[in-house]
Amino acid sequence: MRRELLALSFALLLTSTVKAEDVLVTANRIEVPEESVSEDFEVITKEDIKKYGFTSISDVLAYISGIHLSSNGGLGQVTNVYTLGLPSKHILVMVNGVPVYDPSRIGGEANFEWIDLSNVERIEVIKGPQGALYGSDAVAGVINIITKKPKEREFKLTTEGGKYKTFKERFYAGLPLEKGFLSLSFENFKTNGFSATNSDSPYYESDNDGFRYKAGWFSYGYSPSDRVRITGDLKVRGGSVDYDSLPYNPKAKANYDNFFTDLKGEFLISDDLSVSAKFGHNREEREYPYGNYTGVVRYFSLQPVYYLSENTFLTGGLNYRQEKAQTPSKSSAHTRSAFVELHGEIFGVTYTGALRRDWHSQFGGKTTYKLSAGYKIRLTGTKLRAQYGTGFKAPSLYQLYGPGVGNEKLKAETSEGWNVGFDQRIPYLKGSFSVTYFKNHVWNLIDMPWWQGVYKYTNYNKALTEGVEIKGKVEVIENLSLFGSYTHLRAEDYKPGSGWEKLARRPEFSYTVGVEGKFKGVKTSLWALHYSDREDSNGKTLGGFTTVNCYVSYEFKGGLELYAKGINLTDEDYQLAYGYNTMGRALFVGLNYAFK
């Protein structure tokens, strides 16, 4: 049994009999069956991305319970992601387990507006503190984007066009080999867009703000034997986005370039032991009329896994993460880490315990830990689960060393969080639903309290978020399903002299509700997203809204598929950030042609 479990990751590459969606990589840093995971997680597959018509990572995340968005306009504009009420800097974004944030940004967070979906197999989202496994940034959770590893020969061409003179072309080729695979993808996207701002903004300009990019991916895998696997990726992406500015500049444009590569080697030493080594490099460059910004992250990990018994494994390892930034001054820092994790099952209880120590080159050491447990009542199809953990966010390079505002005495932001919940199967409807309660505390939040005459970054305040998530999906009749989710959120921070205040742009409640079906050759989905009223950082109220989207496709013989997607069908006028526009009613039509 334990050899089979240990070799699961190799089976995913070498055969097509193991479904990747049946296992989860991110929750334990190795492939583990979903039923053995006690964390609050969601998986969005490439099939989900297709059938819901998702264009960007923002579309994907908006669909997930417990996650909310704000954006400074349309596609390509600055996007903030709030996970369990916590900001973008508190969610670690990875590609195949390699961090891909931008150290040149003020908070050192990921550039969500520039993440594309052109080579995505699935996206795993683990909610709750994951610092014990991943170190800095994983305060609210982890988003792991996993690239395609073809198991059958496939070639696909896609072309799409629609409102705002939007056009997209994509090519994908997947070639399985006797001892590995090769895949190649290319995507070209451009849109004239719409004005990012409206008359409520001091930056308002009535011209359209376009967005365009080109992205290329090359992925490979090679297994010289059933005990060795080597995989890697190479990505190049470049583009630009128009934006509104002061003083008025009708040609204000930001250029963006990204280079990413990763390499992973996995070695099955014995029936009980495997070792993996991983290297990653991510470079992001942003060029504005007022200056250029470059962020680089280099990452290395070494991780053995040892099975103590059929259902119990011990893993751990060493990590090294280096970050560099030019903003325009140059700065750098590095973190060395060691962790250990025990995962197993006893008396029907699945458990995970992890402990980690990080040594940051500036502020010193930080220890984090995590405990989780789950128990499945097979008679009723109920799974009970709970998790408790701690995390931290290292000060960004700009907060440490930014000219005139940096503070080298900053401490790390620290956190603790927990969640409890259950998952319930509904066998007669081929469905399930889940309920989760979560709570997070964050201390030593880094801010610049300019309103008190302080113009350097300092550890200033603390935050509290808590809430409830409910989500479910049922098949009401054959090939027709209903799905939905609901999140109730309390998100506040405490500032000395002001007390507790609501965090900006987070709705108190939100929900999605939809239907999807398949009728002969037609596949369709229709869903709505609702946010309640929110308060922006300037004290202005952002009104509640409901948007409705749809997707429909028809597959002809010979691999040809025609599809259409409608965005904001009711033409709702709403804002995710005060003074910034969102997309009105829009229709996009496309063709997919697949052959082998």
pLDDT tens-digit profile of 101-133?
999 999 999 999 999 898 999 999 999 999 999
| Nearest residue to 180 (alpha-carbon basis) of 433, 424, 399, 10 | 10
418 vs 438: CA distance, rounded Å: 6
pLDDT at 473: 96
- Is the model more confident about 67 or about 452? 67
Whether the pLDDT of residue 9 is over 70: the answer is no
Residue 65 φ then ψ, to 5°: -65, 145
Whether the pLDDT of residue 387 is over 60: the answer is yes
pLDDT confidence bin for 6, thresholds 50/70/90: low
Domain spans of the chain, in order of start: 2-595
422 contacts: CB under 8 Å, gap ≥ 6: 382, 383, 384, 385, 434, 435
pLDDT in tens, 464-498: 999 999 999 999 999 999 999 999 999 999 988 88
pLDDT confidence bin for 2, thresholds 50/70/90: low
Whether the pLDDT of residue 508 is over 60: the answer is yes
pLDDT at 13: 43
pLDDT at 7: 52
Q: How would you classify the pairing of strands 141-147 and 154-162? A: unpaired
Q: What is the pTM of this model?
A: 0.95
486 vs 468: CA distance, rounded Å: 8
Residue at 96: amino acid letter: N
Whether the pLDDT of residue 499 is over 80: the answer is yes
Query: ∠97-100-103 over CA atoms, to 5°?
Result: 140
Cβ contact 226:14 at 8 Å = yes
Cβ contact 521:545 at 8 Å = no
Whether the pLDDT of residue 67 is over 50: the answer is yes
pLDDT at 568: 97
* Tokens standing for residue 345: 């099952």
277 vs 263: CA distance, rounded Å: 8
Q: Give the position of tokens 């701690």.
A: 390
pLDDT confidence bin for 460, thresholds 50/70/90: confident
Question: CA neighbours within 13 Å on the CB side: how many for 124?
Answer: 26
How many angstroms separate the Cα of 521 from the Cα of each of 75, 176, 596? 31, 28, 20
pLDDT confidence bin for 12, thresholds 50/70/90: very low
419 vs 355: CA distance, rounded Å: 18
pLDDT at 56: 93
CATH 2.20.25.90 fits 2-595, yes or no: no
pLDDT at 452: 81
First to last CA, the chain: 36
389 vs 442: CA distance, rounded Å: 12
pLDDT at 375: 97
Question: CA neighbours within 13 Å on the CB side: how many for 58?
Answer: 20
pLDDT at 474: 96
| Nearest residue to 392 (alpha-carbon basis) of 204, 200, 135 | 135
* Tokens standing for residue 472: 């479910």
Whether the pLDDT of residue 17 is over 60: the answer is no
Question: CA neighbours within 13 Å on the CB side: how many for 86?
Answer: 37
